[in-house]
Homo-oligomer: A and B are copies of this chain.
Amino acid sequence: MAVKKIKTKDKHIKNLATIVGDASSILYQKVDLLAYECDGFTVYKHSPKAVVFPKNTNEVSALVKYCSDNQLPFLARGAGTGLSGGAIPLNNEVIISLVKMKKLLNVDLENRLAVVQPGYVNLKLTNSISDKGYYYAPDPSSQSCCTIGGNVAENAGGAHCLKYGVTTNHILGLEVVLPNGDIIELSENGILDVPGYDLLGLLTGSEGTLGIVTKITVRILKSPESKQTVLAYFDRVDDGSQAVSDIISAGIVPAALEMMDKTAIEAVESAAFPVGHPRDIAAVLLIEVDGIAAGIDEQINQILEVCKKRNVREVREAKDEQERASWWANRKTGFGAMGAISPDYLVQDGVIPRSKLPEVLKRIEQISQESGLRIANIFHAGDGNLHPLVLFDARIPGETDKAILAGSACLQACADVGGTITGEHGVGIEKREEMRFVFNDEEIIAQTNIREVFNPKNLLNAGKLFPTPGRCGEIKQVMKEATTVS
């Protein structure tokens, strides 16, 4: 293969290319950078200075050191599926893409762990160990393309995190390049309960602001001996959400407990994976239990008992693995399915105490009416993690801002009942201002002080995670004032 030549006089681009080998591992021309202007949060776009593709930890370290020494802003990017804008280059960053570091380095079944590079795709891990009876639990809807490095940055969740916990509960060790280029190993051999401060927990979910993860040791679980999945249809949203609360209070912990409302059902039934949900239904619960075969029926019966008490209209049990898989495909492509019923959508990610489900769903319906925008709800009901999907048309002037404001109001509703503003999508640039819903100044300063320890020059992913003045905040401020006046 011929070595590509660098066609620019920018000395930094040339030097960065040298670090990663040659011009085939760097993008710097306008047209090549378009795809890197945003991630899964598409409302704001900014161009990076360049995108580099290191092949190993030492290259990442050298790139970081170069950026730090030369005052170049930089950030890390995986598959770019993040939903809060964590990988958007607000400051003309050098993007360090980790997609070439995509190896499965080790599987140790005896100690139940696997070691992966950050660019390794989530679902590949389960696929590569399922024949031996093991799997990796965190299952964000994007799992077929998102990377485990990105999952660590965002502390990703997923439908089965109700029973099995989010990403942070499955991370046993990390290799991290700090913002000065130093490489540290946290819990190198996957032994948890490490002495000292829990840096592993601190790094996980820090949204790429404290360091760049270059190697990850994860816990793998034995595949459950048996599972069963049911759909429960309700004529009233209230009954569905009460059933959720009742199931959990009864001490049952399903593997997954998902809910979709009428608008969401309209979308998923109009998209790629319809499964025949009744169109006139107010809410559907998708409930899965797993574990030892002998205990499955008992759990399902307890759940159906609860649903009956809450006036369930109809229950369907998956008759085989194929039907079960089709229900999950229907659910997991739910966000994208909004495209079938709306030109644009904005997904939010609030968390509430389960007991407040009925109250908050009513408030979201109100927000929908006030804003004149439809809001669909597809969410992890079991752990109170709501995903209101605000439907809008970006071509109509002002409607994007209106959607942002409605999304923000949904988060305020969550905060008002003692909940919080993100369950699994992160804060990124999207929810910086909403951090004020849940943290006072001292609490935010305690956090930015920690950032300063790791990232004193604030060159790494600046402008994310914490409230800062900026377009996003300004819009919301303007819209709030407008609302107050009208």
Contact = CB atoms under 8 A, between A and B. Distances in A.
A187 B418 CA distance: 9
A197 to B, nearest CB: 5
Interface of A: 109-112, 133, 155, 157, 166, 168-169, 178, 182, 184-199, 201-202, 204-206, 210, 222-223, 245, 248-249, 251, 291-295, 297-299, 351-355, 384-385, 418-424, 426-427, 431, 435, 438-439, 442-444, 446-447, 449-454, 465-466
Contact of A111 (B155, B355, B450): B355
Q: Which of A190, A194, A423 has the most CB of B within 10 A?
A: A194
A202 to B, nearest CB: 5
Given A298-B292, A418-B188, A466 B196 contact: yes
Copies of this protein, total: 2
Contacts of A422: 193, 195
Given A169-B169, A186-B443, A196-B466, 14 more contacts: A110-B245, A110-B355, A133-B251, A190-B353, A191-B352, A195-B427, A197-B205, A198-B202, A198-B205, A198-B206, A223-B251, A292-B298, A294-B298, A446-B453
B206 A197 contact: yes
A419 B422 CA distance: 35
A193 B424 contact: yes
B435 A249 contact: no
23 contacts: A109-B249, A110-B353, A111-B354, A112-B248, A169-B169, A188-B418, A189-B353, A190-B353, A191-B384, A194-B420, A195-B421, A195-B426, A195-B427, A197-B447, A197-B451, A198-B204, A199-B446, A201-B201, A201-B202, A223-B251, A292-B292, A449-B453, A453-B453
